[in-house]
Amino acid sequence: MTTLHLINKTPSESTALGDSLATLSEGDALLLIENGVYAAMPAYAEHFTRLPRTIQCYLLNNDALARGLNDLNPDFAAIDYDGFVELSCRYSKVVSWF
């Protein structure tokens, strides 16, 4: 069973990022939304260096743009709302971390 993990808080607001990274399994995906997109900033890049290559990382582009973020981790694919819906359908389980 593959899981899409949603993070909507910054690493400084919550332990959601660290908690989710500790539970990721082969084939899972991580999607940063709302304030979670801040985790794609270069300052947080080290959090993602040990992820298996099978873990796909995404961020909601509209949320990054709304926060004026443009110099982001290139390992994160920017997606739109349609992409968010597509990911939610692709994975057998969706978990929101707080």
Residues forming beta bridges with residue 57, ordered by sequence position: 30, 76
How many beta carbons lie within 10 A of that of residue 11, not counting itself? 18
CA end-to-end distance (rounded Å), the chain: 22
Residue 1 has pLDDT above 90, yes or no: no
pLDDT single digits (tens) 27-63: 999 999 999 999 999 999 999 998 988 999 999 999 9
Contact 60, 87 (CB under 8 A): no
Domains within the chain, CATH numbers bracketed: 3-97 (3.40.1260.10)
pLDDT band for 6, please (50, 70, 90 cuts): very high
Residue recorded with tokens 């359908």: 89
Longest dimension (CA), the chain: 35
Write down the pTM of the prediction: 0.95
